[in-house]
Amino acid sequence: MSQLTELQHEELKDVLVDCHKSLKKFCLTFFPDAFYLPFSSLHDQIFDVIDNCDRQQILIKAPRGLGKSTIINLAYAVKEIVYRDTNYLIQASASSDQAIADSDDVKDALLHNETINQVFGNFKPTEREDKFSK
């Protein structure tokens, strides 16, 4: 990353704090291509539940096509990793193939999302690369 001025550093720090507090802000900042449509009030309810839960299990029921899987399986998972809020993630799905695909999406974001790499650094593993997302 290029040299940041003091003002740019402070602005970046403020954005990162906001993104850590708000999954919605994280989605808009780091995944603008995935979240290109405006969020609805139902999305806001989902973000509120996620942002304010105390890490207990939660159930989110919403219509198909709303983006629940992208929010949870991609953005939330990546956020947990980049902010080091968890030591590991388990992708659960209706099939092992779908769980592996979800893990591969997280891996792809960590390795190839330029904004994430510029801000949080390189996530390429030095060991066990073949098992990275499985």
Task: Sort 78 into a burial class: Cβ within 10 Å, 0-12 / 13-18 / 19+.
Answer: buried
Judged against a pLDDT cut of 60, whether residue 91 lies above it is answered with yes
Give the pTM.
Answer: 0.86
- Structure tokens given for 106: 């997280």
CA distances from 22 to 30, 92, 96, 131 (A): 12, 23, 30, 30
For tokens 């947990």, name the residue. 80
Residue 79 confidence class, pLDDT cut points 50, 70, 90: very high
Helices (H), the chain: 6-21, 23-30, 41-52, 68-69, 77-82, 96-112, 114-120
User: What pLDDT is recorded for position 1?
Assistant: 46
- 19, 4 in Cβ contact below 8 A? no
Give 23 or 92, the one with higher predicted confidence: 23
Residues 6+ apart with CB under 8 A from 69: 102
pLDDT at residue 112 greater than cutoff 80:
yes
**Amino acid present at 66:** L
